[in-house]
Structure 1
Amino acid sequence: MVLSFSPGDLVRARGREWVALPAPREGILALRPLSGSENDVVVLDPSLEVSAVEAARFDLPIDARTTVQAKAALLADALRLTLRRGAGPFRSAAQLAFEPRTYQLVPLLMALRLQVPRLLIADDVGIGKTIEAGLILRELMDRGEVDAFSVLCPPHLVDQWIVELKDRFGIDAVAVTSGTAARLERDLPLAQTLFDAYPHTVVSLDYIKAEKRREGFARACPDFVIVDEAHACVGTHKGRQQRFELLQGLARDAERRMIMLTATPHSGDEEAFSRLLSLIDPDFATLDFEDARYRERLARHYVQRRRVDLIEGDWQEDRSFPKHETKEHAYNLSREHLAFQEAVLEYCFSLVSKAGAHKKDQRLAFWGTLALMRCVGSSPAAALSALRNRAANEADRLEPQIYDEDGDDEDAVDIEPNMALSDDPQLRALMDLAGQLLSDTDPKLEALIGVLRPMIKSGANPVVFCRYLATAEHVKAGLRKAFPKLTVDSVTGELTPDERRDRVSEMALEDGAQRILVATDCLSEGINLQQLFDTVVHYDLSWNPTRHQQREGRVDRFGQPAELVRSIMMFSPDSAIDGAVLDVILRKAQEIRKATGVTVPLPDERGPVTDALMSAMMLRRGAHRQLTLDLRLEDGARAMEARWRDASENEKKSRARFAQNAMKPAEVTPEWDKAKHLLGSPEDTKHFVESAMSRFGVPLEKKRNVYVAHVHALQHALKEKLEQRGLAPSVKLAMAEPAPSDAALLTRTHPLTASLAESLVEASLDQEALPDLGIGRVGAWPTTAVTNMTRLALLRVRYKLTIHARKERLLLAEEAALVALQGATIVASGEDARALLSTPATADLATIARDRLINTAQEELPKLLEGPLAQFVNQRAAELVEDHARLRAAAGSISRVSVEAVLPPDVIGLFVLMPAAV
């Protein structure tokens, strides 16, 4: 007969004891060894085992090894840090490799209060939307409510999501892109989809949006989806329409959970905003924004906070963010460079004049002029590259390039445009001029060096953003000559995403060395730079205001260790193109940001933008009278002004309507603090690792603002375990966020913490494991902490959590508990009991007296397990029910949780404390 086991039951199989975990299917067992970790889980079929799988008990053996006070306290700390399946309402807390800020828990609480979570998280750049979405995902996975998920994001963000999920949340996911899909599908059975075989995926939106893949994905898509850069899925051009149709198809399944992320949800475009909200609920596309009932309903699904809301409001999270100082830096062109720009501009105006009356030809001529002038203003190298290009550029690709839109081809983001210019003497003369300027002093590059010198002297580490690949290489060469002692490198679209990430990582290898990174906009999203850099220089102005925000957001974000982040915008008042862009685009966007707190992108209709830029250039260069299109261009400039005003007013209205101020810190902090109290705070983790490393004879070494753990000097068995987890020979640890670039934040999930804790618990349970360490499970000593004989029981308590929802689920939860008893009365638990255990012993008891006290305690243990300890555990189960109910409370039908304690609890340790006077 095969016994039936549920999560939390103890079983004996293959000669050892195990804890039953939630099984993948009926008739199969998932088991974790009692002294092992989550990494040691095995799945077996009981009917195939040589020896029958039997029910088991966990008893404190009569010959348990004795220990001293310091090692008993260390064991209690180790036990708490080994547990990963928390029983409290925040079940994910034990799995996180970071300490979330309180404000980042707000979207999680909002999601838990919805029967089918659908959220639009619209927090400002750098606040931590990825963290907020990951917290929701990790929590629902640990509750058993999510088995499979897909993250949908632009292709350049795929790698970042893979890394964030693994490093912060301990979740392994597979990248699904145009470059990986064929390999992943190659060996699959015909009836199995890629998403059946790989339940955890990060998917490129541009790969999956194609019509031939869209329908298949909708059928196989998991019922939990995160959509990053959701604003890029609504709009008028073809790529955005395809993305919207994809998401609209997914949203039709009313049971699908969807978390959408964007820093620019509204952007002054009511129609696009309505389409975005329709993915939460179709009603939101048509309801009246002015209706208070509508806003109240939407507020349950929509969270939008600016950084100032968190710094100046109730949250007081200023320690999470650096101060930001923004400056403009003007430089003058040399006579030769100014003459070159004038010559190119005259050449472009001649092309515009020849375009004729056909509107399409005129628009192409305008785009060509603007594209070429951007290259000229960037650098002689970029200008020469653009002048040499002969291949015709498709009209529908040239405009997005000019305005720095997030297009489908992210790898081409920094390539100079193909101008399709005719090979005539005037063009050849311009190319010769550009070639000559390459060998002359570049006033723009000299201005950059002048800006950087005092900053470098003060210890800054800048990122210099260029628009074009040729410019980036030109700037890198110039900076290497100017700063030969610094590490200077570049990241451009010539590198694959993996190579870009590796290039940035390599710059962190030289401990303490100053660095300058020259980058194009291939790096403005996808790789976070806050650990390595603290300054952003816009060498080339972006024509998309949100791109400036994205560049700065790589550095100025949550986790930046510097107290001040500087951003510098370079421009030349001599340049027609710089002046036009500043007047028409960037300063207007800056005014809106000051008024509303957010950056508004350019209007989708680019005709007035193009006209306004052309008009501004002609006015600056005195060429206005030369063209027959003057009146139309002036109309375009006025239309552009009107669109900026509309965008600003719409954004102000949106902020007033939808600001998320309902949830206060008092609603979030108590529940999270309770979880930290049970699992151990960051300070508890630090204390444990310091004590454990000292106990192993290899104390942590303090070096400036980090600690160094010399893993290579540990005992062989432990060193081998750590080496398997990638820790060798020495590890730098930071004790608080943000961690320096060459160090890791020490958390309860860090491999060093986890390995030390697991090894200590295993050494206490198995006398053959690390026998020299002397970690035992029983002990007795005198102490000033008590005035009467007190017994401390170190317990591992298992609970069966039943989630009563659409699909009932039975989960295993575990807690470590320390309970102090005097006779049959519990006198302390939790931190109070821990304080008793941590008080140093005043002396050593005689062996015969110590053994007598231990033996008596062991003889009376069964009665305590049936009486006060059982009562304690059942009372804790009742408290957990209340905690879960309080967190899940919301209007309407919602899941509830019942909690059953597994009795008796595992007694890991039993210690007797005698009054010091005795």
Structure 2
Amino acid sequence: MTVNFSPGDLVRARGREWVALPSPQGGILALRPLSGSENDTVILDPELEILPVEPARFDLPADAATTVQAKAALLADAMRLTLRRGAGPFRSAAQLAFEPRTYQLVPLLMALRLQVPRLLIADDVGIGKTIEAGLILRELMDRGEAEAFSVLCPPHLVEQWVGELKARFGIEAVAVTSGTASRLERGLPLAQTLFDAYPFTVVSLDYIKAEKRREGFARACPDLVVVDEAHACVGTHKGRQQRFELLSGLARDPERRMILLTATPHSGDEEAFGRLLSLVEPSFTSMNFEDARYRERLARHFVQRRRIDLVSGDWDEDRAFPKHETTEFPYRLSPAHLEFHEAVLDYCLGIVSRAGTGQRERRLAFWGTLALMRCVGSSAAAALSSLRNRMSSESDRLEPQIYDEDGDDEDAVDIEPSTTFDADPALLALVKHVEELVGKPDPKLTALVDALTPLVKKGVNPVVFCRYLATAEHVRDGLRKAFPKLIVESVTGVLTPDERRDRVADMAPADEEKQVQRILVATDCLSEGINLQQLFDTVVHYDLSWNPTRHQQREGRVDRFGQPAELVRSIMMFSPDSAIDGAVLDVILRKAEEIRKATGVTVPLPDERGPVTDALMASVMLRRGAPRQLTLDLRLGDGVKVMEARWRDASENEKKSRARFAQNAMKPQEVAPEWEKVRTLLGSPADARLFIERAMARFGVPLEPRKSLLLAHVDELDAGLRERLKGNGLSGSVRLATSEPAPSGTALLTRTHPLTATLAEALMEASLDPESLSNLGIGRVGAWPTAAVQQMTRVALLRIRFKLTVHARKEQLLLAEEAALVAIQGGRIVATGEAAQELLNTPATADLASIARDRFIANAKEDLPGLLSGPIAKFVRSRANELMQDHARLRAAAGSASRVTVEAVLPPDVIGLFVLVPGEA
């Protein structure tokens, strides 16, 4: 006999009970164990089974073990925390290992309102774009709308993405890079691509952009793609052109969903911005921001929030970010160093005065001068390296190096530039001069030690950013001598991206209980990519960056979502004796700071560098007291005027940009209530903590509080539990954070934490299977007196299944589950949810005599069928209707045209049945 099963039906096959899931094809069953996850799903053909596949019921067994009040309450908590298929409108909530901020849900809602999600998420550095993209991926997966995805990112971000997806979202993705691709492909059938075999991938852009791989990837690429650092795919460099060709090829498929992430969408280059927007929608290339209809269309696909937008006004997200304290630290040059600075400047001004009036010759002289002066201002070691490298012929690379532009060659970011000056006696004299200086005390390094000493006493952990490799090594060695008790390491471009990540990770203490202070000296190879907020809380700009956004990127490694310190400091070092420091401060950094204070935004340098170079040279000359006639002859005054105009334009454009692109379509009150409902139903971090505290205490191993942490000594648990936890990577004393941000070496105690999940699953198994962990004593029925009730009350612990049908372009049927407690008096439900939970949690006032207890339980079991078909069935149907309304509200807030119908699967599973009698009974 053929039996047709619908999703949600209970099925008995292969000697156990299963839940039917949506079938992949007719005649085939997809089954999940009744107490298990989708990872345990089996696909079977009923015609091929030895024993027939039959309908099943989940009845409360006649011999269900009895339990006491404390363990009944523990079972109810475990039941709620084990569910991973929540029925609420945020399907992904049950899978998250963190608490997203309300503002981070906005891009998710924007994605849900689009038939084919195409988004450009351009939030500030440190706000959490990775989290926002991950929420979209997880939600689409849990809605059954995404079976595969690829994250495309620069190579140095691949491992970070893999780690974030696993730790925060429970997604096991594989890294696809030049070092891993051949290993992953080994053994695959000829007809199967790497992307067929591995549905979730994080792919190095530099690996996949090559022409020989690009076409193959375009054919095998999933229809859901995330692109990180998207601004690095639209420039004029050859590598960026290859990336753009790759992405534009993917974007040509109108059904492909694409999420682009960047903190710098508009760097002053209108053409590059237009190319970026074209990946979202081809018609956006023709930008007309004055057209209200254009802006309205764009606003559906483009979200840009600055931190200032989130810590003021409606969102009020001060708690999400630390306070930021910025200070300047001026220092004086020693006579010997000042003499060298002046000698170099005199030499350079002589070069400039002899450069003539030819545009190219003059520019090369300016660039060579500024490049050498940057190195001199950095350290004597960097100056010596630059002077020795003077014969390099790559003069055209000087300008982007001077202005700290992102180039294709990430490993060359901290190499000292050549000066391009011809060798002559004066230049050789400078080399000899700086060779003598290298061995003398360095006033800049001394100033750094003076700046750090009081902070180190306060327990801070600084990152010191240097511009050049030689400087970083010099500073590292100096700080090791000054602070011998601290861990002092350096990360520079001589290390591979993996080695950089390992170097930083190794600075975390092996013994988490030990307080270890650390100082990291880094070049700008670390200003993007590796997040440092767990180990460091202070940024020192040892060398001024000449690109204002670089300062923002440096500070953004530390001052970001997830920083556990309440205060982040940044210190900008400069010398008033240095003509080059003064010029950069006046022409670039102070102007950019004025705009930042006025608009809340750090603006990049104007795209045209000529006026910047002219203005810097004019400032240097005037500070050195060079003849004014030379400045006039070179028409450098024009550059100062042009730069002033450029900064004014930048300020006005930024104000307009914020008005155009501010995401004001959604308000917190449209998002927060629905998320709060989900947390209540599934269990918040506070609920998870309470469960773990009760469970560990019940097992005789109470949690040990340590300042803001909790220690769970899992090795002291029962052998069966200990073995399960060890299989999930937990042993010894597990450090648990009770609030975000979680300190280094800990994880936030949430419903998905391995300790929560393992204990909850073990308790559920122990209740459902008497032979599983029988010594835990977790039964499914019980009776006790309590002061919580005035008349006899029966509390049923239910597992309810719902069928969710999404009516959209492609209709989908999803299966969801919910845990529920209902309190019944005289055939009428008197409490549900938290009210019923409070009744169950109230301690028993005494023990009942076993004969009385058994009588109460037997009567409750006898009445159960009538309750299931009467008040409980009515409650379950009302829950289905409430859920349907919740889905409708969220989709209305997201502007989605699709709708969801919710059907309850009756009867619900009765996991537990407990009788509460008045305390005096």
Q: Which amino acid aligns with 1:812?
A: L
> Does the residue aligned with 1:192 lie in a helix, a strand or coil?
coil
Distance in structure 2 (CA, Å) of the matches to 1:208 and 1:601? 29
Query: CA-atom RMSD, angstroms?
Result: 2.4
Q: How does 1:101-112 map to 2 (within 5 A)?
A: 101-112=101-112
Distance in structure 2 (CA, Å) of the matches to 1:616 and 1:190? 65
Q: Does structure 1 residue 818 correspond to structure 2 residue 818?
A: no
Distance 1:607 1:692, change over 3 A: same
Distance in structure 1 (CA, Å) of the matches to 2:489 and 2:500? 11
Q: Which residue of 2 aligns with 1:407?
A: 407
Distance in structure 2 (CA, Å) of the matches to 1:719 and 1:629? 80
Shift of 1:492: 1.8
Distance 1:157 1:575, change over 3 A: same
C-alpha contact (below 8 Å) 1:122/1:304 kept by paired residues: yes
Q: Which amino acid aligns with 1:838?
A: N
Distance in structure 1 (CA, Å) of the matches to 2:607 and 2:239? 13
Q: Which residue of 1 aligns with 2:228?
A: 228
Distance 1:785 1:526, change over 3 A: same
Q: Which residue of 2 aligns with 1:691?
A: 694
1:401-426 deviations in Å (ceiling 9; x for gaps): 22222222222222223456655544
Deviates most, 378-387 or 96-105 = 378-387
Distance in structure 2 (CA, Å) of the matches to 1:892 and 1:590? 39
Shift of 1:483: 1.1
> Does the residue aligned with 1:312 lie in a helix, a strand or coil?
coil
Distance 1:215 1:362, change over 3 A: farther
Q: How does 1:424-435 map to 2 (within 5 A)?
A: 424-435=424-435
1:465-494 deviations in Å (ceiling 9; x for gaps): 111122111111111111112222222222
Q: Which residue of 2 aligns with 1:740?
A: 743
Q: How does 1:328-367 map to 2 (within 5 A)?
A: 328-352=328-352, 359-367=359-367
Q: How does 1:115-514 map to 2 (within 5 A)?
A: 115-286=115-286, 288-352=288-352, 359-389=359-389, 392=392, 394-419=394-419, 424-509=424-509, 511-514=514-517
What TM-score do the two structures reach when normalised by structure 2? 0.95
Distance in structure 2 (CA, Å) of the matches to 1:355 and 1:42? 78
Q: Which residue of 2 aligns with 1:63?
A: 63
Distance 1:58 1:413, change over 3 A: same
1:44-83 deviations in Å (ceiling 9; x for gaps): 5555554444432222110011001110000000000000
Q: Which residue of 2 aligns with 1:802?
A: 805
Shift of 1:520: 1.3
Shift of 1:628: 8.9
Q: Which residue of 1 aligns with 2:80?
A: 80
Distance in structure 2 (CA, Å) of the matches to 1:648 and 1:777? 67
Q: Does structure 1 residue 894 correspond to structure 2 residue 894?
A: no
Distance in structure 2 (CA, Å) of the matches to 1:83 and 1:223? 29
Shift of 1:25: 5.9
Deviates most, 593-602 or 858-867 = 858-867
Shift of 1:212: 4.0
Q: Does structure 1 residue 873 correspond to structure 2 residue 897?
A: no
Shift of 1:675: 0.4
C-alpha contact (below 8 Å) 1:264/1:599 kept by paired residues: no
Distance in structure 2 (CA, Å) of the matches to 1:42 and 1:442? 69
Deviates most, 271-280 or 140-149 = 271-280
Distance in structure 2 (CA, Å) of the matches to 1:174 and 1:577? 47
Q: Which residue of 2 aligns with 1:776?
A: 779
C-alpha contact (below 8 Å) 1:206/1:408 kept by paired residues: no
Distance in structure 2 (CA, Å) of the matches to 1:29 and 1:475? 65
Shift of 1:677: 1.1
Q: Does structure 1 residue 557 correspond to structure 2 residue 524?
A: no
Q: Does structure 1 residue 639 correspond to structure 2 residue 659?
A: no
Distance in structure 2 (CA, Å) of the matches to 1:222 and 1:497? 27
Distance 1:721 1:635, change over 3 A: same
Q: Which amino acid aligns with 1:897?
A: V
Distance in structure 1 (CA, Å) of the matches to 2:356 and 2:48? 83
Shift of 1:391: 6.6
1:736-774 deviations in Å (ceiling 9; x for gaps): 111221322111110000001000001101111111111
1:594-650 deviations in Å (ceiling 9; x for gaps): 121111112233233233323332332234569699434333343333222222211
Q: Does structure 1 residue 581 correspond to structure 2 residue 562?
A: no
Distance in structure 2 (CA, Å) of the matches to 1:461 and 1:630? 50
Number of residue pairs matched? 918
Q: Which amino acid aligns with 2:548?
A: P
Distance 1:432 1:779, change over 3 A: same
Distance 1:730 1:33, change over 3 A: same
Q: Which residue of 1 aligns with 2:653?
A: 650
Distance 1:384 1:871, change over 3 A: same
C-alpha contact (below 8 Å) 1:732/1:742 kept by paired residues: yes
Q: Does structure 1 residue 917 correspond to structure 2 residue 920?
A: yes
Query: Given the alignment, which residue of 528, 551, 574 partners 1:525?
Result: 528
Shift of 1:823: 3.2
Q: Which residue of 1 aligns with 2:663?
A: 660
> Does the residue aligned with 2:634 lie in a helix, a strand or coil?
helix
Distance 1:373 1:180, change over 3 A: farther
Q: Which amino acid aligns with 1:671?
A: E
C-alpha contact (below 8 Å) 2:240/2:408 kept by paired residues: no
Gaps of 5+ in 1: none
Distance 1:460 1:494, change over 3 A: same
C-alpha contact (below 8 Å) 1:538/1:570 kept by paired residues: yes
Q: Which residue of 1 aligns with 2:727?
A: 724
Deviates most, 635-644 or 101-110 = 635-644
Q: Does structure 1 residue 594 correspond to structure 2 residue 562?
A: no
Shift of 1:533: 1.6
C-alpha contact (below 8 Å) 1:269/1:650 kept by paired residues: no
Distance in structure 2 (CA, Å) of the matches to 1:346 and 1:726? 64
1:440-489 deviations in Å (ceiling 9; x for gaps): 10000000001111111222221111111221111111111111122222
Distance in structure 2 (CA, Å) of the matches to 1:607 and 1:856? 90
Distance 1:885 1:628, change over 3 A: closer
Deviates most, 152-161 or 627-636 = 627-636
Distance in structure 2 (CA, Å) of the matches to 1:142 and 1:75? 26
C-alpha contact (below 8 Å) 1:464/1:517 kept by paired residues: yes
Shift of 1:676: 0.7
Q: Does structure 1 residue 621 correspond to structure 2 residue 624?
A: yes
Query: Given the alignment, which residue of 834, 838, 842 partners 1:835?
Result: 838
Shift of 1:284: 3.1
Deviates most, 478-487 or 658-667 = 658-667
Shift of 1:845: 1.1
Gaps of 5+ in 2: none
Distance in structure 2 (CA, Å) of the matches to 1:42 and 1:469? 56
Distance 1:418 1:209, change over 3 A: farther
Distance 1:370 1:5, change over 3 A: farther
Q: Which residue of 1 aligns with 2:549?
A: 546
Q: How does 1:668-679 map to 2 (within 5 A)?
A: 668-679=671-682
Deviates most, 870-879 or 612-621 = 612-621
Distance in structure 2 (CA, Å) of the matches to 1:325 and 1:175? 37
Deviates most, 741-750 or 101-110 = 101-110
C-alpha contact (below 8 Å) 2:268/2:607 kept by paired residues: no
Q: Which amino acid aligns with 2:305?
A: R
Q: Which amino acid aligns with 1:472?
A: A
C-alpha contact (below 8 Å) 1:624/1:630 kept by paired residues: no
